[in-house]
Amino acid sequence: MSEDPVVVAREARTRRVGAIAWPSFFAAGVATMWFFAVVDPIELAAISWPHAEVSRELGYTIGFFMFWACTASASLFTAMLLGPPARDVQARTQ
């Protein structure tokens, strides 16, 4: 008995997104903690954007999302190198 190919494809895609999003989220959190343990976001904002008023919380938020974008792109690139999920779907439905 084979499963519905649409359901199998959706599950494969969901696993792929989870395999990219969760490790990148965790790595971004760790990178944010390490980076802002050394760098004050207000001082960084004064150097980067001297005419903008940036609070400490906004600096942390911008930093986190920047790190998340970097780690998500690295995870996405790794997922692309692993190959398309279509091979997994075809193998499970045959």
Whole-number pLDDT of residue 16: 86
51 pLDDT above the threshold of 90: yes
2-40 pLDDT tens trace:
578 778 888 888 888 898 999 999 999 999 999 999 999
1 pLDDT above the threshold of 60: no
The beta strand positions in 1-94, using DSSP E, are none
Q: How buried is residue 4: exposed, middle or buried, by Cβ count under 10 Å (0-12/13-18/19+)?
A: exposed
56-90 pLDDT tens trace:
999 999 999 999 999 999 999 988 887 765 655 55
Longest dimension (CA), the chain: 65
pTM of the entire structure?
Answer: 0.76
Which amino acid would we find at residue 67? F
